[in-house]
Structure 1
Amino acid sequence: MGWDIAREKKTLENALKTKGLDFTATYLAVRDLHAIVRTYPETIKPETITILKGVLEGREHASQTQAYFLYREAADALASVVVRASGEPVECAIAALKHVLGTVAGDSHRATAEALGSLPFSIHGPKISEMTIQDIPSVNWQGILGKNGTTNGHAPAVLGRSLIASLDKEERLLVVKLACNEDSFQSILREAVWMEHLNSGGYSFPIRFHIPTPIKIKGGYVFRLQNIPVRMPEGIGLHPKRYAIGFIAHKGYFTYPNDHRMERRLTMEEFREVILRNAWLLGRLTSLGIVHCAPIPLFHNRIQRHRRPDNGIYEWQRGGRLDRWLGSCAYPNFGLTGIRDFEHLIAFNGLSRKLYPHIGTHILSLLLVTGSYFRHKDPEKVGLDGQGAPVDARELFDKSALKALIQGIFLSYYHGFVESEFTGEVPFNFDELASRMIEEMGVDRHMEEVLRVVDQEQMTDEAFRDFLQKSGYPEEEIANFKKGAKDIMIHTGPHLGGFNQRISLPELIEFVGSVSALCILDRYQKERLASPLGP
């Protein structure tokens, strides 16, 4: 049997070395070789790894529609060597995958990053009990103030769906956060439960992280706010029963790292400290199985989110157009006090390959917010000029500062997640990525979006008119549109990529994939070396 396997393996390797196979034959040969790796890992030699690496580096099948699946099979075969074999083949396979990660692009890079991102290791998030509530108390604003030892007679400030009052000579904030229409009270309850858990779960963070303290009304976190004392902004869409939670936060809770208001703008040094600290926190929380699912809202297509099976949410691995990137960065869910908006936290207990996209979302969000920091030096310089040409805002960027921030985000997140400093060579070019980010984020080439007939038909007449008005159409033109008659071109950008096209900054996606892969690879190696069953 051993001789037969050796002969079959040699036949497959020789076929792949000839480079003369068509796409289908190449795929089948790689698939069969992968099967041998899984079943007989002890037969794998460095030559096998060299051949699989050659498939990933080869360009002869790159133009095939299904090329990704060929590369995925080859990359997964190398990952199987890492997991199932021992000794020299493991080291060779890791070196091969890292080399490919730093030298190829496109489908081959994606497959390699995803293969590394699937290496198995243990992350077990905390058990967060789902609380059930039967009787939800009602309370008014003054009642909440009184419970927290203040009789502040001023009307609360309003930010989004939150009411805010200062406490302790403005050192702390009392925040009441109302549920939106689409939220059940379980959604806001989840945020309060996470606050309580992180405050009392024995966690210790060596860097600044101000975790809000939830308040209880009649023994529970969720209440109904009676007689809201101020007018709420239009379009918020509050829950009709006015469900809410309350919490005490640090005075800097609503300080955003990339604020577009000049009077609240952070200096470069302040921004660097905040963005790198939050990169570390996102990495460390993820390593503990506490994953933030939405550092910023990322969409492939916002307009179509109500009728798409993926809800229009951006899946960065696919490399599609990123909808309204600058708008997505307006109010990130991290800031001066650390990570915030805990309703987006989940306890992760699953396969590492499902963790890989979450890590990528974190890195992508941090980089986009970094780009927006430079754009917000002049927030009015956006869109199209008077002649309809894209606004060029590249002079707002500082390339050397951007490059240092990109590098810092990688190193900080890696340190938080892997729990050790990164060593060795990085498989990406920080200088080139900084240049490409400035080129694509600094020029608003992609402003257009198409409002499809099917999306118009789901709008009320009032919502249709309001949408066109917010998209910049004058009243006289809006009056000439008939809802549902035809597709309408609108300007909602800047986007990264044209409508129904690929992202215009693929280097960003490849960097995100590489960072995510390295984090998982090195966490896997660290855990394997620490295991009594490891090498």
Structure 2
Amino acid sequence: MTSTAEDIERLFSASRGYNALFLAAGSIEEACEENPESLTETGVRLLLGCLADDRFETRRTAYFFYGRLAGILARTAEALGPGHPVSRLALEGVSTLCAEAKGKRHMAICSACHCLAPRHSDLPPAGPGPAPTCCSLDEILQRAGFPLDTHTHPTGRSLLYHHGKTTLVIKCARPEEDPEGLSAEWHWMQTLASSLPPGSHVPTPVGPALMRITGLPQEAASDTAMAFLTTPDYFTYPNEPLAPLETASVIEIMGRSAFLFGHLAARGILHTAPVPLFHNRVQTDRRNDEGVYLWQKGGRLDRWLASCRFPNFGLSGLRDFEHMSTARELPTGDYYRIMGDQILSLLLVAGSHFRSREGAAALSHAPDTSDRRDWFNADHLTAMLEAILTGYHQGFTGGGSKPPDGIDLGALGRRMIEEMGRDTHMEEILRARDQQDMEEKDFTRFLTDRGYSDQEAQRVPRGAADIILFTGPHLGRFNGKISCPELIEFTATLASITITDGFLINAP
């Protein structure tokens, strides 16, 4: 086995053709795993030079080749530690290439950085929740300091009570839902109250983690709930349809939310659902991945506007802490993917802000060829993208460095406007074989949920033929690729650069 620095450099520099380079990379990988010190600064420069060479991008195995080279650099840096000169040279070079490379080479280099993501958290996971404690609505109102006759304002599954400048939220478990999520949210409200930067708003729990509450109004989704105090701004979103926020406020929200996501991620805590992301909602119950979006594959993004309607961040800060997970609960590769989910969610919500004036009309089940590109302001969108880029990176790194200047946010914004301003892709398909696996009542409800009247749904023969449904807008055609791949490229770039820079700055 090749084991000395001189042998590695001679083996790699002497290999010119693709096949020889591929084999040489395997030998170097084995040698560096056995002895990380065998990779010298000269060897790093050789590997970076090959990573910067796009001659092999058309090769069938190019993704694996470039991924192997980048993986050698990332894993060796991890083994040597952030203070080693080889580590710094390797990761600064990888970070630069993450911003400059394209295509398979770009995704391979970015993905290799996942091994540098945090693997621990100083804060404990939520763990199993307690059994519900019985109490009455009057007791909850008294604990919150609210008059017993305070009026209820139902919204979604929550009951809102307003008193002065404070809002009491009773968040009910949905029917047939495991209430563990509610007790997890209670845990994270308690835990994060002293862990976020000064000025960050975290709701204050009221009562035990999980309660069975008597006396709730009939609008309540169930009698199992948790309760907390927050500000009236808690339910104000950056894409409000009824009373849209000023653009300056939205830019601030995007930057602050990105900062908080990054700040927590650096500490081994990830919010796993800033917005719901799906590849195919229509196949949620019939796919092994439950239709969840895996952005690294670059597939079509299902109903992007619908996903953005109620993001888990807004004017008051982050929300829905039940979706928090710690590094110890996640495989290393998932950490990078979820960081990407956060970045992509922020991008989508930024785009949805300019469509918010449509309100519910944006979610209608009908084909629509209207052109709304002139609703977007390119300068304002670019400012939002800058806030996301800077906020996320600074939140994760603590402001110890800045992302490279080579990321063209203006070009990304123009492509977003082109794809998000026109609803080109509205269709999804319910396959005949999938229909056959559904109960009749579920099939009928599925159709009525997507715009059919009860009478129309009853007349459709289940399983006779594929059914085309207009449920968009989607980003990409059904079972195709995303129509705005620039979103994926930026997501991969920012996630990988952030992880790499954070490792160099924050690792002990």
Report the TM-score when normalising by structure 2. 0.90
1:258–1:266 Cα contact (<8 Å) kept: yes
Opposite residue 195 of structure 1, the aligned amino acid is M
Partner of 1:524: 503
Is it true that 1:302 corresponds to 2:281 in the alignment? Answer: yes
Match of 1:231 among 219, 222, 226: 219
2:47–2:69 CA contact under 8 A, matched in 1: yes
Q: 1:110 aligns with which of 102, 107, 111?
A: 107
**Distance (whole Å) between structure 1 residues aligned to residue 380 and residue 29 of structure 2:** 44
In structure 2, distance between residues paired with 1:196 and 1:108: 43
Question: Partner residue of 2:166?
Answer: 172
Distance 2:281 2:332 in 1: 29
* Cα distance in 2, alignment partners of residues 303 and 384 from structure 1: 16
Q: State the partner residue of 2:337.
A: 357
Tell me, yes or no, if structure 1 residue 67 matches structure 2 residue 62.
yes
1:410 to 389, 402, 409: 389
Deviations 1:474-532 (A, max 9, x none): 5665344111222211111111111111111111111111111111111111135xx5x
Q: CA offsets per residue over residues 38-80 of structure 1, 9 Å max, x none?
A: 3344443555444433543444543444432222111112224
User: For residues 92-146 of structure 1, what are the alpha-carbon distances to aligned partners after superposition, in whole Å with 9 as ceiling and x for unaligned?
Assistant: 4234323322222222111111222322656424124635534x34344344334
| Equivalent-residue separation in structure 1 for 2:127 and 2:311 (angstroms) | 27
Matched, 1:163 2:159: yes
Gaps of 5+ in 1: 233-237
Q: Structure 2: state its 5+ residue gaps.
A: none
Equivalent in the alignment of 1:203: 195
Aligned counterpart in structure 2 of residue 253 of structure 1, from 224, 229, 234 = 234
What's the secondary structure of 1:420's corresponding residue?
coil
CA contact (8 A) 1:139 1:226 kept: yes
Change (3 A) 1:159 1:384: closer
For the pair 1:150 / 2:135, whether they are aligned, the reply is no
The equivalent residue for 2:11 is: 11
Q: Residue 329 of structure 1 corresponds to which residue in structure 2? A: 308
**How far apart, in 1, do the equivalents of 2:36 and 2:361 lie?**
58
Find the aligned partners of 1:338 and 1:223 in 2 and give their Cα distance: 25
The count of aligned residue pairs is 505
**Structure 2 counterpart SS, 1:166:** strand
Distance 1:247 1:4 in 2: 61
Cα distance in structure 1, aligned partners of 2:275 and 2:126: 26
Q: Helix, strand or coil for the counterpart of 1:253?
A: helix
2:282 maps to a residue whose letter is I
Give the secondary-structure state (helix, strand or coil) at the position aligned to 1:406.
Answer: helix
Contact 1:384 1:390 in 2 (8 A): no
In structure 2, distance between residues paired with 1:120 and 1:413: 14
Deviation larger for 58-67 or 180-189: 58-67
Say whether the 8 Å CA contact 1:121–1:523 is kept in structure 2. no
Quote the residue 1:375 is aligned against.
355
Counterpart Cα distance in 2 of 1:432 and 1:365: 19
Moved more, 242-251 or 113-122: 113-122
Answer yes or no: is 1:429 the counterpart of 2:408. Answer: yes
Q: Distance in 1 between matches of 2:264 and 2:54?
A: 39
Question: Is contact 2:71–2:112 with CA below 8 Å preserved after alignment?
Answer: yes
Identical residues among aligned pairs (%): 33
Q: Which residue does 2:253 correspond to in 1?
A: 274
SS of equivalent residue, structure 1 residue 163: strand
Hey, what does 2:205 align to over in structure 1? 214
The 8 Å contact of residues 260 and 392 in structure 2, kept in 1 or not, is answered as yes
Aligned to 1:440: 419
Task: Give yes or no for contact 2:158–2:170 (8 Å, CA) kept in 1.
Answer: yes
- Off by >6 Å, runs of 4+ in structure 1: 1-5, 383-386
Letter of the structure 1 residue corresponding to residue 195 of structure 2? Y
Shift of the 333–64 alpha-carbon distance from structure 1 to 2, 3 Å rule, reads same
- Written as runs of structure 1 = structure 2, the 5 A alignment for 1:489-528 is 489-528=468-507
Shift of 1:321: 1.3
Letter in 1 for 2:224: Y
Separation in 2, partners of 1:384, 1:164: 28
Q: 1:84 to 1:193 in 2, by over 3 A?
A: closer
Q: Answer yes or no: is the 8 Å Cα contact 2:365–2:450 preserved in 1.
A: no
Aligned-partner residue type, residue 378 of structure 1:
E
> What TM-score, normalized to structure 1?
0.86
Task: Please say if residues 101 and 427 of structure 1, whose CA atoms lie closer than 8 Å, have aligned partners that are also in contact.
Answer: no
Q: Is the 8 A contact 2:118 2:268 kept in 1?
A: no
| Match 1:316 to one of 295, 302, 320 | 295
Of 357, 366, 390, the residue aligned with 2:369 is 390
Residues 17-36 of structure 1 mapped to structure 2, 5 A cutoff: 17=16, 19=17, 21-22=18-19, 25-36=20-31
In 2: Cα distance, 1:204 partner to 1:339 partner: 11
Query: 1 CA distance for matches of 2:72 and 2:468?
Result: 46
Amino acid at match of 1:173: T
Q: Which residue of 2 aligns with 1:192?
A: 186
| Counterparts in 2 of 1:162 and 1:458: CA distance versus 1, 3 Å | farther
- C-alpha displacement of 1:181: 3.2
CA distance in 2, matches of 1:2, 1:360: 36
What SS is found at the alignment partner of 2:381?
helix
What is the alpha-carbon distance in structure 2 between the residues aligned to residue 77 and residue 266 of structure 1?
A: 47
